[in-house]
Amino acid sequence: MNTFKVCVRPVRISDFPEHVRLMAADSDFRFSEEYDDLRLVGNGQTCIAADLTVNRSKNRFTNILPFDHSRVKLIPTDDEEGSDYINANYIPGFNSRREFIAAQGPLPSTRDDFWRVVWEQQCPAIIALTKCVEKGRDKCHQYWPDNNQRSVLYGDIEVTLLNEIHYDEF
């Protein structure tokens, strides 16, 4: 049985600065400890759909796969095997066990499926936590129109860029 030292209790907003100060003490020791413990989260969870031959090429990384019990399923197209697969999981929030969706940065071949998820799940916002290229490595295919394009068709979905905001740090 795994034992976790990870903080599982909520931290009040008024206590958050003190919580961060304690976690950051001793060269971020408690942050590092908590991060190490997170490696154990998900041990024993199955990723059968992600490991199907038809779906393997849809995964950017072989070690970051969606768990079967919480993966987002696309509406299948034309009874095509694997057409319901995308590397994405539901994440619980305050209001629902499926309040958020975490998806890998799309590949060129999965960009249209990414927009299917946004459409089918009625996602009100997209927050990218990675740049398209980091340290010279491709991390995410650009899945939105360039600033000089009005609208772009991705599969059956037309996407119009309203605005794009870049932050140096998050």
In a domain, 127, yes or no: yes
Full domain range(s) for residue 76? 48-160
**Do 28 and 86 fall within a single domain?**
no
pLDDT band at residue 52 using 50, 70 and 90 as cut-offs: very high
The yes-or-no verdict on residue 9 having pLDDT over 90 is: no
In a domain, 61, yes or no: yes
**Do 131 and 87 fall within a single domain?**
yes
Tokens standing for 128? 């990218």
Q: 117's torsion region: left (phi>0), alpha (psi -120 to 50) or beta?
A: alpha
**Do 58 and 77 fall within a single domain?**
yes
State the average pLDDT over residues 70-75: 97
**Do 129 and 145 fall within a single domain?**
yes
Q: How many domains does the chain have?
A: 2
For residue 6, what pLDDT is reported? 54
Residues with Cβ < 8 Å from 55, sequence gap 6 or more? 49, 82, 85
- Which amino acid, residue 141? H
Residues with Cβ < 8 Å from 12, sequence gap 6 or more? none
**Do 26 and 75 fall within a single domain?**
no
pLDDT band at residue 8 using 50, 70 and 90 as cut-offs: low
Percent of the chain residues past pLDDT 70, beyond the cut: 94
Rg of the chain over Cα atoms, rounded to whole angstroms, equals 19
